[in-house]
């Protein structure tokens, strides 16, 4: 049976409609412009892609399939598989040696510098990297870190040119990645814990062991497999 709707009463018991906790003096806001993104190479012959020239990036985007169940006149939806969606990273293209690792990586994906052979790195350690996205506060203290494994570009846009524009040139990459880890550092270090009730712990289907709604420890990988690159 659906939960009955009850009168919640005055807000916070007093009817208070002010700014609330957003106005507290110790509230730390995560700001869109305080971040760094670096991509560590797995290839021993290729340097890491530096963070200095990233212009636009984003935090990971997770899509979860919805599965439709039908019975008689009714429908219901339950969650299905999850997919980490592609993200776009834009680099400012500058004439410096520090841009070489980025171009080395792109040439590993598809060696456009050699139109005769057109080699492509075929091992994950050739073409993929590990991206570290860190959000900072105004004093340079880390607030959170996202670790994205097995990242590689699915599209490379070297940008348009325009005689009427004074803007800098950019390189825009569409990125695919496979595994994500998250850790928060402020005010206290923590990792999110998932609520996952084992089968037979009180729900339909009966069976043995476990506590309903128990919180399982975050392992960083499927079925208890540790994440290969823990966030520090």
| Class of the CATH-defined domain 29-190 | mainly beta
Average pLDDT score, the chain: 86
The dihedrals phi and psi of 78, each to the nearest 5 degrees, come to: -125, 155
Cβ pair 123, 24 in contact under 8 A: no
pLDDT at 204 (0 to 100): 52
Q: What is the mean pLDDT of residues 148-164?
A: 95
pLDDT at 1 (0 to 100): 61
In this prediction, what percent of the chain has a pLDDT beyond 90?
50
Q: Which tokens in the block code for residue 43?
A: 């290839």
Domain ranges of the chain: 29-190, 192-221
Asked if pLDDT for residue 133 goes beyond 70, the answer is: yes
Per DSSP, the three-state class of 106 is helix
Q: How many helical (H) and strand (E) elements, i.e. helices and strands, does the chain have?
A: 2, 11
Which of the four pLDDT bands, split at 50, 70 and 90, describes residue 206? very low
Cβ pair 99, 169 in contact under 8 A: no
Name which residue leads in pLDDT, 165 or 207. Answer: 165
pLDDT tens for residues 158-198? 999 999 999 999 999 999 998 999 999 988 888 888 888 88
Q: Which tokens in the block code for residue 37?
A: 């993104």
CA atoms within 13 A on the CB side of 28: 17
């Amino acid at each position: 049976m659906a939960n009955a709707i009850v009168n919640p009463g005055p807000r916070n018991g007093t009817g208070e409609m002010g700014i609330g906790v957003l106005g507290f003096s110790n509230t730390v806001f995560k700001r869109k412009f305080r971040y760094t993104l670096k991509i560590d190479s797995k290839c021993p012959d290729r340097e890491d892609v530096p963070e200095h020239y990233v212009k636009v990036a984003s935090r990971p985007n997770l899509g979860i399939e919805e599965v439709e169940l039908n019975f008689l006149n009714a429908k219901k939806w339950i969650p299905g598989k999850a997919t980490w969606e592609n993200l776009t990273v834009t680099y400012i293209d500058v004439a410096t040696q520090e841009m070489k690792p980025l171009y080395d990586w792109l040439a590993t994906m598809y060696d456009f510098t050699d139109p005769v052979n057109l080699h492509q790195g075929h091992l994950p350690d050739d073409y993929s990297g590990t991206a570290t996205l860190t959000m900072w506060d105004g004093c340079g203290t880390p607030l959170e870190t996202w670790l994205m494994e097995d990242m590689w570009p699915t599209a490379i846009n070297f940008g348009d040119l325009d005689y009427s524009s004074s803007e800098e040139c950019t390189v825009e990459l569409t990125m695919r990645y496979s595994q994500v880890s998250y850790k928060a550092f402020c005010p206290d270090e923590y990792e999110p814990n998932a609520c996952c009730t084992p089968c037979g712990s009180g729900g339909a289907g009966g069976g043995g062991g476990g506590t309903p709604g128990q919180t399982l420890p975050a392992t960083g990988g499927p079925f208890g497999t540790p994440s290969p690159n823990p966030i520090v």
